[in-house]
Chains A and B, each alone.
Chain A
Amino acid sequence: DSGVTQTPKHLITATGQRVTLRCSPRSGDLSVYWYQQSLDQGLQFLIQYYNGEERAKGNILERFSAQQFPDLHSELNLSSLELGDSALYFCASSPRGFTYEQFFGPGTRLTVL
Chain B
Amino acid sequence: AQSVTQLGSHVSVSEGALVLLRCNYSSSVPPYLFWYVQYPNQGLQLLLKYTTGATLVKGINGFEAEFKKSETSFHLTKPSAHMSDAAEYFCAVSVPENNDMRFGAGTRLTVKP
Binding site for B on A (CB under 8 A): 2, 4, 33, 42-45, 48, 55-56, 58, 90, 92, 97-99, 101-107
We find that the number of chain B residues with CB closer than 8 angstroms to chain A is 23
CB distance from A88 to the nearest CB of B (A): 9
Q: Give the distance in Å from the alpha carbon of A98 to the alpha carbon of B100 in the complex.
A: 7
Kindly list the 6 A-B residue pairs having the minimum CB-CB distance in the complex, ordered from nearest. A56-B99, A104-B43, A98-B94, A43-B103, A104-B44, A101-B46
Q: Are A99 and B46 in contact, CB atoms less than 8 angstroms apart? A: no
Given contacts A42-B105, A42-B106, contact A97 B99 (CB under 8 A): yes
Q: Are A104 and B45 in contact, CB atoms less than 8 angstroms apart? A: yes
Contact of B43 among A56, A101, A106 (CB under 8 A): A106
CB-defined contacts of B42 to chain A, threshold 8 Å:
106-107
Given contacts A45-B101, A58-B100, A98-B99, contact A90 B46 (CB under 8 A): no
Q: Give the distance in Å from the alpha carbon of A99 to the alpha carbon of B36 in the complex.
A: 14
B49 at the interface (CB under 8 A from A): yes
Contact of A102 among B46, B99, B104, B106 (CB under 8 A): B46
- Interface contacts (Cβ under 8 Å), in number, total 56
Contact mask for chain B residues 82-113; partner A; CB cutoff 8 A; 1 contact, 0 none: 00000000100010101111111110000000
CB-defined contacts of A45 to chain B, threshold 8 Å:
100-103
Q: Are B100 and A99 in contact, CB atoms less than 8 angstroms apart? A: no
> Which of the listed residues A2, A44, A102, A103 has the most CB atoms from chain B within 10 Å of its own CB?
A102
Given contacts A42-B106, A98-B32, A99-B94, contact A4 B100 (CB under 8 A): no
CB-defined contacts of B51 to chain A, threshold 8 Å:
99
CB-defined contacts of B41 to chain A, threshold 8 Å:
106
Q: Give the distance in Å from the alpha carbon of A86 to the alpha carbon of B32 in the complex.
A: 31
Q: Are A2 and B100 in contact, CB atoms less than 8 angstroms apart? A: no
CB-defined contacts of B99 to chain A, threshold 8 Å:
48, 55-56, 97-98
Q: Are B43 and A99 in contact, CB atoms less than 8 angstroms apart? A: no
**Which A residue's beta carbon lies closest to that of B41?**
A106
Q: Are A56 and B49 in contact, CB atoms less than 8 angstroms apart? A: no
